[in-house]
Structure 1
Amino acid sequence: MRHQPTEYRPGTARGAAPPLGREYDLEGRRLWLHRSGSGGPSMVFLPGAGLVGLDFLNIHDRAAELTTSVLYDRAGTGWSERVTLPRTPTEVTDELRGLLRAADVPGPYLLVGHSLGAFYGRRYAQRFPEDVAGLLLLDPGHEDILSYVPKQAAELNEQMKPDPEQLPELSDEQIRSARDQLAQIYAQWPEPVREALIGYNLASWRTSLRETENFETEVYDELRHGGDLPDVPLIVLTAGGDNPYWAQFMPEHLMREAHEGVRAMQAAIAASVPQGEQRVLTGASHQYGHVEQPDAVFHAIRDLLGKADARR
């Protein structure tokens, strides 16, 4: 049965209506989606933890000049309905497949997955290879990361993980500082979208911590045992800048070794398929590389579309 879209109602899942897009009812659950452009293969953005669909509006608008482009929020994030977090990759990919069908987004899909979203993009390709025309992975992680980074770096990272339930509310000073930083990040976004994203980030900053609580268990396990990726064009974009989070607790030499390990790990992801390629974005950060270097991300999208078209 085809699920019908409904207008978003303020005061539901996330309190206020999103500035763009609409919600779809999928088996009783409200999910937000924004679609632009036409043609195929359709581009679908899978945000990383802590980000939402509208974070990629800058790339989406340019991609929509070339093909159908879709932004969406997973349940439990953004303007989609609240659910208990974390969730398994199977749950997330089942939901995405159902939503794309409900919204009549034509396949096959070119999946753009950032960080945690890259895990979900790879899992989607493992489970539904016939639906996937290509993959763009933005600074992805990998279930075998411990084989690439120094043991000491991995141990320090684990020790510093915060418990979201134990973290205090943001102080007024922290809110002001965060608002200023977010306003700079989203400076090129239309004002209604910028203000909506700032408000969401300030209210929902614990979401990224909750979404990744099963990172090293269920997420890694599903990907590790999920099988090979299909033989489709793949580009991995590696963030070549420093990691400010690691810099808070990791000595410089160890952080450098960890970065080298991550770069090697992402090269291995690219090499896992015949048409894989790694591109390093010098100076780009993990979280906002698509904001800092949008041209490089767009060029990767354009190149993948060209490769996908050549295979038809």
Structure 2
Amino acid sequence: MKNILLKTAKYSISVLFLLLFAGFVYEHISRVYFNKKQPHESEYVTVNNRKIHFKKVGNSAKGTVVFESGLGGDYLHWQELQNRLSKEYTTLSYDKAGILWSDPTEDVSLKRYAADLSAVLKHTNCPKPYILVGHSFAGITLRSFIKENSKDIQGIVFVDVSHPLQLKKSSENLKKSVTPPSRQVLSFFNETGIIRLLYTFVPFTKSVPKEHIFNKNVQNYFYKIFDGLMQEMENDDKLMAEAEQINDFGDIALTVITAKYPNGVENMPDPKLTNEYLAIHNTLQKDLLQLSNKSKQVFAEKSGHYVTLQEPELIVEAVKEIEKQDK
């Protein structure tokens, strides 16, 4: 009996090793393929010896709609919205440092985020004024840029964005529920193809179908956003503390689009934690209105966190409304 168990264990370990090896090979062959899709050199700007990738679409002289992604988000998140708005505006999306096609940096500060975006806008000759559209963690990362460039900003559309106080307001149980596995564990899953395989069967977000271009892009390129994502997550306390000090946008028009989460909070099955999260979320979303003397709140009744994918028309309407205010 002991020999049978020993042989079974050896066989199981051998099979597991072969599967992991096969996953590793599959992952790295996939990376070779997707690395070949790197954008043209004309879509890069060099900042402090780092390359930052951007996508500029449209050629309107009346101003530029600038897209800022959330945690680990890349320019691909904005594809559909950028194509829609580029018919009337110059539009700009970009990859933050260490994400997708942009080089990484050790400098993690709101001033660095602002400097990167300023450099991209200058290099691309994007016409002023700017209308900023930010999703999720962009409610944190955009604040220094807004403070430093207020005279050039016509308006801001915050799409279900993070608030600097949301971690402080959350219970330990809530924070634990949204904390991912360690970098080491996720790196192992990433390198052995487990994450790529997982997203073959399960969508990154159920907000849209598994076959949606957003879910496919996450599956294809997670390996290229992993390091930047982890860096942002590991420094969220620091960045939120910096953002907390920037709490006045003056007279810049601000539209706060707040998701109503009609189907609950994705990946949060505990109803008590869901209720806690939504209570904090709704309170802090309303508090964002204090940032500007010209603020308004719009509710995305049909959306979870990804309003950008579920109700993009609300964002289009908000941008157009801001543009009309000065006419």
Indicate which of 245, 249, 252 corresponds to 1:229. Answer: 249
In 2, distance between residues paired with 1:186 and 1:83? 32
Question: Which of 217, 225, 237 is 1:204 aligned to?
Answer: 225
Q: CA deviation at 1:136?
A: 0.6
TM-score (norm 2): 0.77
CA distance in 2, matches of 1:49, 1:76: 12
- CA shift for structure 1 position 91: 0.7
Distance 1:146 1:105 in 2: 35
Q: 1:102 to 1:186 in 2, by over 3 A?
A: farther
Query: What is the correspondence of 1:58-207 to structure 2 with a 5 Å cutoff?
Result: 58-84=80-106, 87-145=108-166, 149=169, 153-160=170-177, 161=179, 162-167=181-186, 168-170=188-190, 174-180=195-201, 181=203, 187=211, 189=213, 198-205=219-226, 207=228
Stretches of structure 1 lacking an aligned partner (at least 5 in a row): 1-10
State how far apart, in whole Å, the 1-side matches of 2:78 and 2:210 are.
Answer: 10
Relative to structure 1, the CA distance from residue 228 to residue 188 in structure 2 (aligned partners, 3 Å threshold; closer, same or farther) is: same
Cα deviation 1:270-297 (Å, max 9, x = unaligned): 24322111112124122x2211112222
In the alignment, does 2:266 pair up with 1:240?
Answer: no
Query: Helix, strand or coil for the counterpart of 2:108?
Result: coil
Taking structure 1 as the reference length, what is the TM-score of the superposition? 0.81
Query: How many Å apart are 1:262 and its aligned residue?
Result: 0.8
Q: How does 1:36-75 map to 2 (within 5 A)?
A: 36-37=57-58, 38-75=60-97
Percentage of matched positions with identical amino acids = 20
Give the C-alpha shift of residue 80 in structure 1: 1.0
Pairwise CA RMSD of aligned residues? Answer: 2.9
| Residues 83/272 of structure 1: CA separation in 2 closer, same or farther (3 Å cut) | closer
Code of the residue aligned with 1:199 in structure 2: it is: N
Asked if structure 1 preserves the Cα contact closer than 8 Å seen for 2:98 and 2:227, the reply is no
2:26 aligned residue = none
Deviation at 1:110, TM superposition (A): 0.8
| Structure 2 match to 1:305 | 323
In structure 2, C-alpha distance between the alignment counterparts of 1:101 and 1:173, rounded to whole Å = 40
**Paired residue for 1:5?**
none
Residue 206 of structure 1: how far off its partner (Å):
5.3
What secondary structure does 2:229 align onto? helix
- Of 276-285 and 156-165, deviating more is 156-165
Cα distance change, pair 227–303 in 1 and its aligned pair in 2 (3 A): same
Instruction: Determine which structure has more spread, i.e. the larger CA radius of gyration.
Output: 2
Indicate the structure with greater helix content. Answer: 2
User: Do 2:143 and 2:246's aligned partners in 1 also have CA atoms closer than 8 Å?
Assistant: no
Structure 1 residue 277 and structure 2 residue 299: aligned? Answer: no
SS, match of residue 136 in structure 1: strand
Structure 1 counterpart of 2:307 = 289
In the alignment, the residues of structure 2 paired with residue 188 and residue 158 of structure 1 have an alpha-carbon distance, to the nearest angstrom, of 29
